[in-house]
Chains A and B, each alone.
Chain A
């Protein structure tokens, strides 16, 4: 069966450390993988997109990797801050010719001061 799993429901880290979130998938062959941030009571907000032929993508303190052999994406936040506390969702495109995405359930990150 097809699944998208994000490593844990919740992750707690200390301010200044690097947060690493995992997205694993099975029986999909996405051409793209996206990461979104969702704050309580709000809709998800797009952060980064990585293509299947890209190993790594960076944006400021964010870094995403995409390993199509392992069927895994890692999302890193370096020098984390309490303002980074949110739920992070990964999303895979699943259909040729149409923007049809499947989302993981998300990982709730808490950065403690």
Chain B
């Protein structure tokens, strides 16, 4: 998984609680991404980062926030978890932000919101 770890790998939480997922990379890549994957929808981009403290919204950003204080760490926070946020979350990295750049994915975090 290209030097990318995600923690936790599995989490069960209750509606209304905040949740933070962590992505850690050892590749020193500038760009980092958070996706969610749901049956029938494919991977959908939540937020991405193009450098330390530089982040922007993706396709499905409502209810999520991110932070990147170091090159190697990208945090995804569900401010108040809802059942619709039950999903598998993947972090990805890329060396550059150019169009079509290959992305390398982490192993995923399976989140269940009850």
Contacts and interface: CB of A to CB of B under 8 A. Distances in A.
A45 interface: yes
Contact of B105 (A4, A44, A96, A98): A44
A99 B97 contact: yes
B42 A105 contact: yes
Contacts of A105: 39-42
Chain A interface extent, by class:
20 to 34
Interface in A48-82: 49, 51
Interface residues of B, number: 30
Majority-rule SS of B interface residues: loop
B42 A49 contact: no
B107 A43 contact: yes
Nearest to B99: A93
A37 to B, nearest CB: 11
Contact of A96 (B45, B92, B99): B99
Contacts of B31: 99
Contacts of B100: 31-32, 34, 49, 51, 93, 99
Interface of A: 4, 31-32, 34, 41-46, 49, 51, 89, 91, 93, 95-106
Interface of B: 1, 4, 31, 35, 39-45, 48, 58-59, 90, 92, 94, 96-108
13 contacts: A41-B107, A41-B108, A43-B1, A44-B90, A46-B102, A89-B42, A89-B43, A99-B96, A99-B98, A101-B45, A102-B42, A103-B35, A103-B43
